[in-house]
Amino acid sequence: MNYLKIPIYFLELFALVLLQKNMLNRRKKSREKNLSKTEKTNSGPAITYITESTTITADMICEDDVRVAGTIDGKLESKKKVILTESGIVNGEIVSPSADISGKVEGDIRAQNKLTLRSSAVIDGDITTDKIKIEQGAQVKGVFQVGKSVSSSAKISS
């Protein structure tokens, strides 16, 4: 009888060790799965943000949306959307499919699809776009070219 109890004890111990190892593997796989999800969702910013205290003196080309609260001295190009806040200043051309301007621009704006000029916007340059929305109070010194046939020439360079 003692002979049978020893193997059963070892079998129970072995089963317990296997169970614990299985649980640890599940936790590890779960963590790895969660990490890979996090890495995929945080693979890069969906928006580039230029803060009020930042000044960039160069041409800037972005794949994602760009929100500018600081100053850019140079061309600003985005494959998506440009948002210029009230404190934002661009001394150069803006090229983007869509732009929402509340700040100051000294240069041309080419927004292929849509341009919104907020009441605080001050533009000194020509505007080319398919659709435009101008809030009361926005200031523009330049030439407007609005419409589909005009905006096709405002495409973003690749």
User: Rounded to the nearest 5°, which phi and psi values hold at 92?
Assistant: 160, 180
Same domain, 15 and 54: no
Same domain, 54 and 103: yes
pLDDT at 41 exceeding the cut of 70: no
| CA dihedral of 66, 71, 73, 74, whole degrees rounded to 10 | 10
Same domain, 106 and 150: yes
For 102-127, letters b (16+ CB in 10 Å) and e give bbbbebbbbbbebbbbbebbbbebbb
Same domain, 34 and 55: no
Same domain, 36 and 68: no
Closest CA to 103 of 115, 86, 83: 86
Q: Residues 86-124: pLDDT tens digits?
A: 999 999 999 999 999 999 999 999 999 999 999 999 999
Same domain, 33 and 60: no
Same domain, 53 and 24: no
Q: Which amino acid is at 85?
A: T
Tokens of 19: 């169970």
Same domain, 38 and 53: no
Q: How many domains does the chain have?
A: 2
Percent of the chain whose pLDDT exceeds 90: 57
Same domain, 123 and 51: yes
Tell me the average pLDDT of the chain: 82
Give the pTM. Answer: 0.68
Same domain, 61 and 80: yes
Same domain, 101 and 63: yes
Q: Give just the sign of the alpha carbon dihedral 50, 101, 138, 111.
A: positive
Bridge partners (DSSP) of residue 84 are 68, 101
Same domain, 56 and 80: yes
- β strands within the chain, DSSP E: 47-50, 55-56, 60-62, 65-68, 71-73, 76-78, 81-84, 89-91, 94-101, 104-106, 109-117, 122-124, 127-134, 139-141, 144-146
Domain that holds residue 32: 1-43
